Structure 1
Amino acid sequence: MLNLYTISFLALQQCFAGPVDLQHPDHEGNSDIEYRRNTYEQSWRAELDIDLLNRQRCDQDFCSGTANSNDSSYVCGDARLGPTILPSCLPISSVVEGSSNYSRFGGLCPGEFLSAWTNYAPPGRQGWFFYPYADGFANNTAGKPIRGRLTLKPGTLVDRFGGVQGTFVAPAGSPYNQRALPPANLNHGPGNGPQVPHNYHIYQVNKSLVVLAGPVASWFGQPGYGTQFQLSSTIEYFLKEGVLEEVAVDEKCNLLIDSGQDWSWTPASGRLRLVNGMELED
């Protein structure tokens, strides 16, 4: 008999326009995970993260081990380290005692972060980030990825940091540190202000869409354990088929504060269950 994981998600009024159907795929697994709901607050202002506010922890040369391009919009002039000023149109992190707990380097110094999370590159070249196994899903204690089929209903909003050739999205407005992405994804494009990252997109589901859903593995020094959705094909394909429709990010800023932030993972009875008590049959 297959072991089932439990997913409870809250604040559906704004994250989802209708009910969500859940199905569990044929896979082994036991959640063994408890991800408790936090209360999130969004500060609509430019802010620094705690790694930049605590530069004293590093050597006298804070930027040692980085590739400085002299572009002050990036930390240490290195685009891999993300923007100096964080974007203000999406939740970056949960809020603890009134202060953002986003730590873009996971407490490391910039050069240490790059050494830990980028591939080796020969002299004169820059290494780029490497990503986790199992498509970035967190594993249970048996080492199996935790994921299950889920049907997104029309009206659901999802978002993505990346281009249309990708296959992963998340509940729109999920805090950035729960996505376990590198700080480079927060960069804004030339001529754009810091409000919205240049590769951040919001999509509305127009037709029922079956995805694989599960908790995000901790990576890049980030806590993870937000929720990610893996599509069966690319964003581009579903846009052409009319299943997804891109919506203007600036029109949804007010929505992002209250959506996507309340998905939680708990072991409970070992079954797949909605917060309203609905439960699947085996």
Structure 2
Amino acid sequence: MISGPANDRVFRSVLEVQLDDHHGGRYCEGTRNNGSKYYCGDIRLGPVKLRKKLLLSGILEEYDRIGMLTSAQCLTGWWNATARCWRYPPQYGLQLDISGNPIVGYQALSVGLFVDRFGSERGRFLAPADTPYSQHLLPPLNLDTPTTGTVYPHSYHVYRVVNSFVVLSGPIAPWFGQPDQGVQYASDMTMSDLILAGYINPRTSPMSVVLEREIQVQILKR
């Protein structure tokens, strides 16, 4: 894999195309003032400008962070002001059966499969590569790109499975105003540990055009 600070900058420039979907007026009532780079000036609603080229094109193209609601309505429903954290659905966000039990099972991820993730490599949740952001069970805040360390746009990472390993797999429940309905993989190891143990390889690199084609082949085989 090609890596290094210079190549990271190339990767960012290859991905970057900016979409300004910022609302004003009544849509922004009840929000914070964290700066103009954030939607309605509120960091919790993520960045105003979303990169949506190549790898991120289909993932962010249809994403609508607040839908027909106002920002205040969204934050009232999903943000716990007392605990200062997001409200997530029960049972790790999995859909429930008629008895209230999570729909989940063990699945071995096969060698060659591409998976992706928005967030740091300290996390344990993945999804099939090219899953729309609306099906990741994530708030808009997770689209913010950290300003420190070696990072990629919106902290988006793609991995290729190089040694099969078992995850808990199940359908995602609707949340954060999104239809969800995506598939979630939960590992008992963090991404960093999976990389060190030789189960996955990071594939986010300047060779993103080639990677995109590889992922598209995977999608066609589904």
Q: Distance in 2 between matches of 1:262 and 1:81?
A: 33
User: Is residue 144 from structure 1 mapped to residue 101 from structure 2 by the alignment?
Assistant: yes
Paired position in structure 1 for 2:82: 121
Residue pairs, 1:176-191, within 5 angstroms: 176-190=133-147
Q: 1:219 aligns with which of 153, 172, 175?
A: 175
Choose the corresponding residue for 2:204, options 248, 260, 278.
248
Partner of 2:12: none
Q: Deviations over 1:164-201 (max 9, x none)?
A: 22111011111111223111111223399xx821x221
Distance in 1, matches of 2:62 and 2:158, equals 24
1:104 equivalent to 2:65? Answer yes
Which of these residues, 202, 219, 233, is aligned with residue 189 of structure 2?
233
The residue aligned with 2:123 is 166
Runs of 4+ in 1 over 6 A off after TM superposition: 259-263
Q: What is the rounded CA distance, in whole Å, between the counterparts of 2:128 and 2:173 in structure 1?
A: 16
Q: Distance in 1 between matches of 2:200 and 2:157?
A: 12
| Aligned residue among 12, 24, 38 for 1:74 | 38
Contact preservation (8 Å) 2:113, 2:218: no
* Distance 1:259-1:175 versus aligned 2 partners, 3 A rule: farther
For the 8 Å contact 2:129–2:158, the answer to whether it is kept is yes
The CA distance in 2 between the partners of 1:176 and 1:145, in whole Å, is 22
For residues 111 and 178 of structure 1, the distance between their equivalents in structure 2, rounded to whole angstroms, comes to 22
Q: After superposition, what is the alpha-carbon deviation per residue over 1:192-222, rounded to whole angstroms, capped at 9, x for unaligned? A: 9xx821x221112111111111111111111
DSSP-derived class of the 1:92 partner: helix
- Percent identity, aligned pairs only, is 36
Higher relative contact order (CA 8 A, sep 6+): 1
Tell me: CA distance 1:115–1:262, structure 2 relative to 1, closer, same or farther (3 Å). farther
Q: Counterpart of 1:130?
A: 87
Q: How far, CA to CA, are the matches of 2:206 and 2:99 in structure 1?
A: 42
Counterpart of 1:10 in structure 2 is: none
Cα distance in 1 for partners of 2:182, 2:220 equals 9
> How far apart in 2 are the matches of 1:64 and 1:117?
16
Letter in 2 for 1:66: T
Query: Where does structure 1 lack aligned partners over 5 or more consecutive residues?
Result: 1-43, 94-99, 264-274, 276-282
- How many residue pairs match? The answer is 201
Q: 2:13: which partner in 1?
A: none
Per-residue CA deviations over 1:80-130 (Å, capped at 9, x if unaligned) read 10111222141235xxxxxx54220132111211111011238xxxx3212
Which residue, 66, 85, 92 being the options, matches 2:59? 92
Larger Rg: 1
Give TM-score, length-normalised by structure 2: 0.78
Where do 5+ consecutive residues of structure 2 fail to align?
A: 1-15
Higher helix share: 2
Does structure 1 conserve the Cα–Cα contact (< 8 Å) formed by 2:26 and 2:70?
no
